Amino acid sequence: MKGRLTNAGPIGLDISARGIRAVQLRKKGDTFALVAKAEVSISPSDSEDEERVFAILKDMFVGKVFAGRRVAVCVPDRALEIKNMRLPQMPEEELAQAALFEAQERFVTLRDGYSIRTIPAGLVGSDKSAQQELIVLAAAEEVVGNRLATLTKLGLTAARIEPTATALFRPYEQFLRRSSDGEASNVFVDIGEADARILISAGENIAFLKTCSIGGQRIDEALTKELVLSAHEATKLRVERLGSPSSQTESSENEGVVEAIKPVIEQLAKEVSLCLRYYSVTFRAERPDQVTIVGEAASPMVATLLSESLQVPVHVGKAFSACDCEGVFDERELATGLPQWTTALGLAMCEGHGEQRHKVAS
C-alpha cells in the first residue's frame, strides 16, 4: 500500500446526511488509481452538528491509510443558496466583480457575511444583444468557517472547499473532456437525503443547476405511509434494498415498494422536465437523450421509475469506471455503481482545477 500512496492527491472528504466518505487518488497516466477509502454511517442530525462531525472524523481517521493531511471538502448544503443572473458580455475578471455586486442585492438572507462562486453558463439571446447567464452560488461564511475550523482542530488542511454540484460533476467532466461528442448535453440528478440537484452540462461545462426538495426523506415518508413502516424501517428498506441490483427482480413485495415511491419519483421527473425545458429554450439546445442519477438515494429502482416518467434512458452513474480500484473496492461493490461515493471521488480529483470564490463581509 505504501507504494500506491506515492504522489497521492488530497483526500476527498464528503460529509453527507447519511455518511462520511473519504477517498484518495493518485494520477496514473491520463486516469486515476484509487489508493485508500474510509466510510462511517451517520444520521442527518449528526451531519449538521460540527461537534459530532469533529468526533466522528477523529475516530474515522484513526488507523486509516491516507497520505498527508490535505483534504478537499464541500460547503455544507444548509449554508448554500443558488441563483441565476444575466449580465452584459464582458471580460471574465470584470464579470466576476459584476456578479459580486449583484449578489449583494440578491442574497438578502445571507446578510451576516457570505462567499460566492460564479459559474458562466452560456450566452442567452441574439448575437447583438446576447447576455451572459451566470450560476451564482452563495454560502454563509459562518457555516463555512465552522467547517474549516473543524478540519483545523483535526490537524487537517483544506486544499479546497467547493459546492457539492461542482464536485459530483468532476468525475464525468474528466470523461466528457475526452469524448468525441464534447458539445453534447448531459443531465445529472444527484438524489440526496433532503434534496435533489439537477445539473445539465453542455459538453464539459455546467450550464444549468437547480435544487428541489425531493430526496431520500420523501421516499422514506412514502414508504412509511403506504407500507405502514416505522421511519427507521423505511430508511433501512431504501438503503439496503432499493440500492441493490437485485431490487429489480419481480416480486409482490417489490410491487408494493414501486407503487409506494412512484408518486415521489414522478414529481422528481416533473422537476427534471421543467429544467430540461428551460435549458432547451434558453440556450436553444437539443434535449439530452439520457439521464444519469447519483447520490445517496440513487438506485436501480429509482432509475427505472424515472425513465418511465421521462421517456428517456436513466441509469445509475458509475463514476469509478475510469479509475483503477484494485484492492480498494471489489467487483460486487463496483457493480452497484457506488453512486453515494460520487462527490467524494470528485473532491479527490480537484487538483489543478481553478475556482472563483469571493468573500463578502456584512
Residue 292: band (very low, low, confident or very high) from pLDDT cuts 50, 70, 90: very high
Question: What percent of the chain is helix, strand and coil (3-state, nearest 5)?
Answer: 45, 30, 30
Give alpha helix (H) positions in the chain: 44-47, 50-60, 92-106, 141-153, 164-178, 216-227, 231-237, 252-283, 300-310, 331-335, 342-348
Check: CB of residue 183 under 8 Å from CB of residue 288: no
Q: Which range has highest mean pLDDT (21-25, 65-69, 328-332)?
A: 21-25
Q: Quick one: fold of 166-317?
A: Nucleotidyltransferase; domain 5 (3.30.420)
Averaged pLDDT, 11-31 = 91
pTM over 0.85: yes
Which of the residue ranges 28-32, 174-178, 259-263 has the most confident prediction, judged by mean pLDDT? 259-263
3-state secondary structure of 351: coil
pLDDT of the residue at 291:
97
**pLDDT (tens digit, 9 = 90+) per residue, 151-201?**
999 999 999 999 999 999 999 987 777 665 667 899 999 999 999 999 999
Note the pLDDT of residue 360.
41
* Residue spans per domain, the chain: 80-139, 166-317
Q: 171: closest CA among 144, 210, 201, 138? A: 201
Burial code of 165-204, b = ≥16 C-beta within 10 A, e = fewer?
bbbbbbbbbbebeeeeeeebbbbbbbbbbbbbbbbbbbeb
Amino acid in the structure at residue 109: T
Mean pLDDT calculated for residue range 119-135: 87
Is it true that domain 80-139 has CATH number 3.30.1490? yes
pLDDT at residue 128, as a whole number: 74
| Three cell numbers written together for 52 | 459530532
Q: What is the pLDDT of residue 54?
A: 95
Q: Of 360, 357, 337, 339, which Cα lies nearest the Cα of 19?
A: 339
pLDDT for 36 = 92
Indicate the average pLDDT of the chain: 87
Res 358 pLDDT > 50: no
Please enumerate in sequence order all residues whose Cβ is within 8 A of that of 269, keeping only pairs 6 or more positions apart, or say none.
306, 309, 310
Residues 60-73 pLDDT 10s: 887 778 999 999 99
Q: How far apart are CA 96 and CA 119, in angstroms?
A: 9
* pLDDT score recorded for residue 357: 46
pLDDT at 3 over 70: no
CA distance 311 to 269: 10
Of 17-26, 106-115, 161-170, 279-288, the least confident: 106-115
Bigger pLDDT: 27 or 201?
Answer: 201
Distance of alpha carbon 53 from alpha carbon 65, whole angstroms: 20
Residue 91 has what pLDDT?
86
Q: Which three cell numbers stand for residue 220?
A: 422514506
pLDDT for 12: 97
pLDDT band at 129 (very low <50, low <70, confident <90, very high): confident
Contact criterion met (CB below 8 Å) for 182 and 94: no
Q: Is 55 helix (H, G, I), strand (E, B) or coil?
A: helix
The letter for the amino acid at 352 is G
